[in-house]
Amino acid sequence: MKTILVPIQNIALVTSALEAAARLAQRTGAYIEGFPLRFGIPQYLVAELATGIPLDSYHAKSQEELAEMHRLFEAFMLKQDIPPATAGSSRPCFGWLETAPEGEDFVGSYGRAFDVIVMPRSDVDAAGPNRRAIESVLFESGRPVLLAPPDAPGSIATNIVIHWNGSTEQARVNAFAMPLLRLAERVTVLTVIGGQEVPGPSADQIVRQLLYNDIAARLVSVELEDRDTGEAVLDAARAQGSDLLIKGAFTRNRLRQMIFGGATSYIMEHADLPVLMAH
């Protein structure tokens, strides 16, 4: 994971995402690129929202916000002793994309040129645009997203929990996570007895696969009891002292999860540790 993309938003949780990106870059020796994530608003709505405010003033304020996001990103990286990228510079280092267009769909397309995209996790009380941007990464980028919790993690990817449910999505995110799994001091393959799963290889087979890749993993099983699968997974990861959860996203139909809930939605909204997800 040598290239990291961080969409910068004008929200409080962006600091945690920057912290997670910096820690990951320092661990893997990566290049971090930031860009301003702006949620596009049709011009006729802009006029309505800016009632009483000249449109030129509205656009000027927007440019000020973009400049502020740039300053925030650069100041944070320099504070972490991560320098700007230059020809032949050592890593970790950072850069900034000035020309990002409006719209949350951009992160899904541009993210294809990076190894991982780091974003603040969604929230039950958060506005929809951040959730849509996360889903753009999951469904359009072909890359994993690292969701940062509200509180910045003290470490990342030293103690990893994989939630194995037999699915294609989980197999894919396991593959994306291989560089981090090889760096980890401890890896646990977790199954939830009675939880949401699909027909597929057993957790024992995944432990064997990891062992052949020189990753010594141990198997842990927990009972679902009266919890949601996502809640059981987070409880187990917390009990293991994990600083990264590897989770396949939307094994069940996305619309069904949006209406009825599911493990992916629960974890996206409640995780208190970094989560690496892919669809």
pLDDT at 38: 82
Measured CA angle at 156 (ends 153, 160), to 5 deg: 120
184/215 Cα distance (integer angstroms): 9
Equal fold, 3-148 vs 159-277: yes
Annotation: CATH topology of 159-277: Rossmann fold (3.40.50)
Phi, psi of 180 (to 5 degrees): -75, -35
Choose the CATH number for 3-148 among 3.90.480.20, 3.40.50.300, 3.40.1170.20, 3.40.50.620: 3.40.50.620
The pLDDT score that the predictor gives to residue 124 is: 58
pTM tops 0.85: yes
Query: What DSSP string runs through 71-134?
Result: HHHHHHHHHTT-PBP-TT--SSEEEE-S-PPSSTHHHHHHGGGSSEEEEE---TTS-HHHHHHH
- Asked if the bond preceding 92 is cis, omega within 30° of 0, the reply is yes
Identify the pLDDT of residue 260. 42
Cα–Cα distance for residue pair 246/236, rounded to 1 Å:
13
Question: 43-73 as b/e, with b when 16 or more CB fall inside 10 Å?
Answer: eeeeeeebeeeeeeeeeeeeeeebeebbebb
Tokens describing residue 42 = 């049709």
What's the pLDDT score for residue 259? Answer: 45
Per domain, the residue ranges of the chain are 3-148, 159-277
pLDDT tens sequence for the chain (279 residues): 999 999 998 777 899 999 999 999 999 999 999 999 987 655 545 555 555 556 566 566 678 888 999 999 999 999 999 999 997 778 899 999 988 998 889 999 999 999 999 999 987 555 567 888 999 999 999 999 999 999 988 899 999 999 999 999 999 999 999 999 999 999 999 999 999 889 999 999 999 999 999 999 999 999 999 999 999 999 999 999 999 999 999 976 555 445 445 889 899 999 999 999 999
- Which tokens belong to 64? 């000020």
Amino acid at the residue 97: L
Tell which phi-psi region holds residue 246, choosing left (phi > 0), alpha (psi between -120 and 50) or beta: beta
Other beta carbons within 10 angstroms of residue 102's beta carbon come to 13
pLDDT for the residue numbered 104 = 87
Strand partners, 122: none
